[in-house]
Amino acid sequence: MLHIGIDDTDSVKGGCTTWLATEIIKELSDFDLIGSPRLVRLNPNVPWKTRGNGAVSFTFGKGKGAKEKIGEIGNFNIFSFKRGMPIRYDSHEILERIKALVLQHSHPDSEPGIVVSEVFLPEGLYWQGVTDIVTDDILSDALQGTISFGLRGSRGLCGAACSLAWSGSSNNINKISHTWELIGYRKEANWGKNRNISIDSVNKISKLKGVFSCTDSDGKIAMVPNSPCPVLWGFRGTDDSILINNFHNLGPEKPVRWLLYRTNQATDDHLRFKEISNVKEGDCLRAEVIVSSISKIIEGGHRFFSAKDSSDEVLKCAAFEPTKDFRHVIDRLKIGDKLVVCGSVNNGTLNLEKIKITELVTRFSKPPNPMCDCGKRTHSSGKNSYYRCKACGKKYSRPAMIELDSELELGWYEPPASSRRHLSTPVSMMPKL
């Protein structure tokens, strides 16, 4: 078998690695595609990431058994086989064919990388790449026995190699091994123009079983990108057949090519259980905490609060403006509430991806000052002291606090889909309480 990984052909200014993947599949049509192409997202907290920090990999060989249609490029149908047989090939010749496409289509600001290997790379490389930083030494060891090409640096090589190390196993917190994304691509004349996808068509497919991240809670479309890239939409779900059988309902603008990817999106693979005392800059973590200070609002509408764990170590947490109504959940937290927090650490602050409320302290409200028998309102004589009427001097005991119903319920809370990280598992897919 021949395994190929590519990464970093795009930049924040444009380009698209998954679109280039369709060109590579067409170029290598003299081989059979074994299994689905893989779209692998890596550590979302690295400072030099591209827009989605995603790499793509595929396996080629001689197909065996039944084949399945998983894509189209115009009139060119893309099929994949579940099983394959080894074939003879010239790795260097194949690398040159892919290299020509990468040089032609990669963005000038990118650092593209290509890795060609006869075997999948060690899975530990993937877990290093999705949860931490892959050092040059680790990458160099992983690339032994492969042939590769990197342009303007090694960043693309790192992602390409990590994509070849992803097995799709469920070695994560939520036991979700993989999900699927069917990506539709626009005709080139429309690149950079507004996308014409109706909310009605999106609402129709968003109700299908296992489909996620189509719309935000306010009804806005989340599956259509805002960048000038070739992507028309990304249709995500847990069942590949549902995506293939229903993407044609999206419109009125139709894709001129489409391709189904097996992905690590929505798996929470990047998160690791951590105690606050062990948290370091750049970590993506999940921790059990107790709220130790209520939310403060700063300029821009961002929310900040502090939480501590059983060791009394304190972690500053933040919900930034793009998280929208999620911030109102943070506003309602009280000191003593118990949470599970998920997110990544930047500048010493946990950027929240979602929270789970596991226990709420009782909420109380101060009652009105008692009315005096003379008809005047009494006044407090100090903290935990009595109330006194200034008119007649009569004293009254402090009334009991009023217990309130909480505005929050136990369970998971998250930002809207449009501000959710690709790797973050939607709360609809999280284990129940």
pLDDT value at 109 more than 90: no
| Domain termination residue (choose one: 270, 293, 308) | 270
Taking every pair of Cα atoms in the chain, the longest distance, rounded to a whole number of angstroms, is 103
pLDDT value at 372 more than 90: yes
- Per-residue DSSP letter, 276: G
Q: Is the dihedral of CA 17, 18, 19, 25 positive or negative?
A: positive
- pLDDT band of residue 354 (cuts 50, 70, 90) is very high
Crossing angle for the helix pair 17-27 and 91-105, nearest 10 degrees?
A: 140
Q: Is the dihedral of CA 89, 95, 97, 101 positive or negative?
A: positive
User: Residue 300: what are its φ and ψ, rounded to 5°?
Assistant: 100, -10
pLDDT value at 12 more than 70: no
The amino acid present at 87, given as its one-letter code, is: I
Q: What is the CATH number of the domain that holds 23?
A: 3.30.70.2200
| Domain termination residue (choose one: 238, 270, 302) | 270
- pLDDT band of residue 218 (cuts 50, 70, 90) is confident
For the chain, state the CA radius of gyration: 27
Regarding whether 191 and 207 lie in a shared domain, the answer is yes
Regarding whether 164 and 28 lie in a shared domain, the answer is yes
Q: What is the mean pLDDT of residues 295-303?
A: 96
Placement of tokens 């947490």 in the chain: 317
Residues of the domain holding 1: 1-270
CB-based contact 422:44 (threshold 8 Å): yes
Q: What is the pLDDT of residue 383?
A: 80
pLDDT value at 153 more than 80: no
Domains held by the chain: number: 2
Residue 108 neighbours by CB under 8 Å, 6+ apart: 11
Of the candidates 29, 23, 49, 4, the residue with the CA atom closest to the CA atom of residue 102: 23
Q: What is the pLDDT of residue 168?
A: 86
Least confident window among 111-120, 169-178, 361-370, 371-380 = 169-178
Per-residue pLDDT tens over the stretch 265-292: 999 999 999 999 999 999 999 999 999 9
Encoding tokens for residue 336?
């003593």
Q: What is the pLDDT of residue 52?
A: 66
| Class of residue 207 by CB neighbours under 10 A (exposed 0-12, middle 13-18, buried 19+) | exposed
Q: What is the rounded average pLDDT for all residues in the chain?
A: 93
Per-residue pLDDT tens over the stretch 382-416: 887 899 999 999 999 988 889 888 889 999 999 99
Regarding whether 286 and 230 lie in a shared domain, the answer is no
Regarding whether 211 and 190 lie in a shared domain, the answer is yes
N-to-C CA span, the chain: 44
Q: What is the pLDDT of residue 170?
A: 67
**CA separation for the pair 234, 394 (Å, rounded):** 71
pLDDT value at 295 more than 90: yes
Per-residue pLDDT tens over the stretch 234-248: 999 999 999 999 999
* 388 within a domain of the structure (yes/no): no
pLDDT value at 86 more than 90: no
DSSP-derived 3-state class of residue 155: helix
- pLDDT band of residue 8 (cuts 50, 70, 90) is confident
pLDDT value at 432 more than 70: no
Q: What is the pLDDT of residue 385?
A: 87
Regarding whether 221 and 207 lie in a shared domain, the answer is yes
Regarding whether 180 and 69 lie in a shared domain, the answer is yes
pLDDT value at 50 more than 80: no
DSSP-derived 3-state class of residue 152: coil
Q: How far is CA 247 from CA 21, 30, 197, 215, 225, in A?
A: 20, 28, 12, 15, 16
- pLDDT band of residue 352 (cuts 50, 70, 90) is very high
Encoding tokens for residue 374?
């003379």
Strand duo 338-346 + 76-85: pairing: unpaired
- pLDDT band of residue 16 (cuts 50, 70, 90) is confident
- pLDDT band of residue 222 (cuts 50, 70, 90) is very high
| Class of residue 388 by CB neighbours under 10 A (exposed 0-12, middle 13-18, buried 19+) | middle
Long-range contacts of 199-202 (CB under 8 A, 24+ apart): 201/249, 201/250, 201/251, 201/252, 202/250
Q: What is the pTM of this model?
A: 0.91
| Domain termination residue (choose one: 229, 253, 270) | 270
Q: What is the pLDDT of residue 277?
A: 94
pLDDT value at 221 more than 70: yes
